[in-house]
Amino acid sequence: MAVNELFARATRKLVAKGTTLGLERTAETVRRRGGEPLAVVLPDGSRIDFGQSPRVVLTVRDDQALAALAKPTLGTLGSAFVEGGIDIDGDMAEVIRIAECLSDAAGANVADRPPIQAIRHSPRLDREAIHHHYDVGNDFYRLWLDPRMVYSCAYFRNPGDSLEDAQFAKLDLICRKLRLRAGERFLDIGCGWGGLVLHAAENYGVNAVGITLSDGQFALARERVAAAGLADRIEILQLDYRDLEERFGPAVFDKVASVGMFEHVGLRNLPEYFAIAATMVRPGGLFLNHGITSADIENRPVGGGAGDFIDEYIFPHGELPHVHLAVREMAAQGFELCDIESLRRHYALTLSHWSRRLEEHLDEARRFTQERILRAWRAYLAGCAYGFAKGWMNIYQLLGTRPYQDGRIEVPLTRDWLYR
């Protein structure tokens, strides 16, 4: 055997020994804190227990994944799982909780947020990101979304509500907040698979336009509109929000909504985004923005490597503003804010439903997508459910109106109308 190969093998053994010692130190720290129901099986078959009867077993497949466990962060652990270096046996919700515990014991903390790295979002960049996130395949999303395929935070009147009921309640809440009336023109920016425009047309009698950049969403939304017999009242377009004014002209919509879309806009593009929304809605009309926000006042992403994991595997180029920045930019474009509502706890419940549903359909999911992609989504949904429950990020509905020149607005004096 060549000297270089002998040296390389010896080096790998030393590195593996060092990373094993690091993992054992982390395990000792966890045991001193009361322990966790975790066991880690190493590449050589040995096992490290973390102090309680294990309900979660992590099997490490190679030395590179072992290195990720020596000083773990949420990002490195998630990446090792996605890339096949770690296999998981156990409930994903508990896996995420234990992963945070390991990260904390090793000195990594989600409160240590990385600096902002805002980029200039272009139509090409946004289209690529949309395809990466949404065009995993309609059959894949059907496995864990509700029958309406509403891919945004639901609204739970009670924690025990079904996902189906909670999504209906969310769609109806948006329509009530917008005070939709029969015959009005309604625009949904980022319409997904058409759930909101269908609900608004069927239950409130509006004429609706929905836009999306996703190929899969565009095709299925049009099919669903046709199947519902509403093609004369709902138009689905594959269109960038920056092209709305050229396509329709200004002030042609009575009400406008954007649900789960402004996460793709980018911090630098927020003024343009809200300006376009203001241009599209008539004076006196209403605009509702429903979107995820950073919990950090400086708009920094989640720490512990979690933000990096989401950017790499799930949501490229996503940037979350703190709610104060969203309110500021919305007001700067002439909107008067009528209502602000946090849905953070609702999204924790929604994501828990989605995560459980996906876990119940893993064999079917493998028929529709690659194992690597499936693992990324398993980690993402369970991790986000945990993150929203812990307050690592938030989600708000912001309702604004464009006042008339004399200051009048078409909103009642009290908020009773919101919940009738």
Give the pLDDT mean for 110-129.
76
118 to 16, 114, 200, 319: CA distances (angstroms): 37, 12, 35, 7
What pLDDT, on a 0 to 100 scale, did the predictor assign at position 126?
Answer: 67
Give the pLDDT mean for 345-356.
98
Pick the closest to residue 81 from 58, 102, 97 (CA basis). Answer: 58
Give the pLDDT mean for 350-361.
98
Strands 253-259 vs 185-189: parallel, antiparallel or unpaired:
parallel
Reported as a pLDDT band with limits 50, 70 and 90, residue 5 is low
Q: Is the pLDDT of residue 299 over 60?
A: yes
Q: Would you name the residues annotated as active-site residues?
A: 384
Least confident span in 134-148, 159-173, 246-260, 394-408: 134-148
pLDDT-above-70 percentage for the chain: 93
Give the pLDDT mean for 87-114.
91
What pLDDT, on a 0 to 100 scale, did the predictor assign at position 287?
Answer: 98
What pLDDT, on a 0 to 100 scale, did the predictor assign at position 12?
Answer: 45
What pLDDT, on a 0 to 100 scale, did the predictor assign at position 2?
Answer: 59
Q: Is the pLDDT of residue 13 over 60?
A: no
Tokens of 349: 């419940």
- The per-residue pLDDT of the chain, averaged, comes to 92
Beta bridge partners of 187: 209, 256
Pick the closest to residue 187 from 121, 107, 243 (CA basis). Answer: 243
Give one DSSP letter per residue of 74-122, joined into a string: HHHHHHHHHTTSEEEES-HHHHHHHHHHHHHHTT--TTSPPPP------
What pLDDT, on a 0 to 100 scale, did the predictor assign at position 64?
Answer: 86
Q: Is the pLDDT of residue 229 over 80?
A: yes
Q: Is the pLDDT of residue 161 over 60?
A: yes
Q: What are phi and psi of 286, to 5 degrees?
A: -125, 145
Give the pLDDT mean for 69-79.
90
- Report whether 356 contacts 255 (CB < 8 A): no
**Coil vs helix vs strand at 338:** strand
- Report whether 147 contacts 341 (CB < 8 A): no
Q: What type of residue sits at position 170?
A: K
pLDDT in tens, 37-49: 999 999 999 999 9
Give the pLDDT mean for 120-137.
70
Q: Is the pLDDT of residue 243 over 50?
A: yes
Q: Which helix (H) or strand (E) segment is 125 a member of?
A: helix 123-134
Give the pLDDT mean for 364-389.
96
Least confident span in 16-20, 162-166, 300-304, 359-363: 16-20
pLDDT in tens, 186-219: 999 999 999 999 999 999 999 999 999 999 999 9
Q: What type of residue sits at position 186?
A: F
Give the pLDDT mean for 266-274.
95
- Report whether 339 contacts 320 (CB < 8 A): no
User: Domains along the chain?
Assistant: 3-105 (3.30.1050), 123-419 (3.40.50.150)
What pLDDT, on a 0 to 100 scale, did the predictor assign at position 14?
Answer: 37
Give the C-alpha separation, 327 to 94, whole Å.
35
Reported as a pLDDT band with limits 50, 70 and 90, residue 112 is confident
Give the C-alpha separation, 197 to 209, whole Å.
7
Give the C-alpha separation, 334 to 403, whole Å.
8
What pLDDT, on a 0 to 100 scale, did the predictor assign at position 11?
Answer: 36
Give the distance from CA 110 to its chain's centroid. 17
Give the pLDDT mean for 350-376.
96
Give the pLDDT mean for 11-34.
75
Give the distance from CA 173 to its chain's centroid. 20
- Report whether 391 contacts 295 (CB < 8 A): yes
What pLDDT, on a 0 to 100 scale, did the predictor assign at position 145?
Answer: 98
Least confident span in 113-127, 224-238, 300-314: 113-127
pTM of the model: 0.92
Q: Which helix (H) or strand (E) segment is 41 a member of?
A: strand 36-41
Give the C-alpha separation, 125 to 127, whole Å.
5
Tokens of 214: 């996703």
